[in-house]
Amino acid sequence: MTPDHDAPIEFPIDGTLDLHQFAPDETRDVVTAYIDECLARKIYSLRIIHGKGIGVQREIVRSLLSRHPRVLSFHHESGAGSWGATVVDLIPE
């Protein structure tokens, strides 16, 4: 059986999204879809790992979160790796 390279890849929906495997141009769609799925599963505290790097994904994530209607607040994770992840609180329904 040959692998289907066009088949969707499933990721666990547990409140932590690691963006390292996504290109910056995919970030906005991935984060939006992840937020929607977390809301559907009643997960309201998220951790989005974007890495430190030069900050491209971090800025995309912040921009999206600042305009998303269901985001209550977001901040850099404190402690080790603080610039590599953003913690998000969503507004429950």
pLDDT in tens, 53-69: 888 999 999 999 999 99
Q: What is the pLDDT at residue 12? A: 82
Q: Which residues of the chain have pLDDT under 70?
A: 1-9, 80-83
Protein fold of 16-90: Ribosomal Protein S8; Chain: A, domain 1 (3.30.1370)
Q: Where are the domains of the chain?
A: 16-90
- Residues 83 and 76: beta-carbon distance below 8 Å: yes
CA distance 71 to 91: 6
Q: What's the pTM?
A: 0.84
Distances (CA, A) of 27 to 14, 38, 84, 86: 18, 16, 15, 14
Q: What is the pLDDT at residue 10? A: 72
CA dihedral 70, 89, 54, 59 (to 10 degrees): 20
- Which pair of structure tokens corresponds to residue 8? 């969707």
- Residues 57 and 34: beta-carbon distance below 8 Å: no
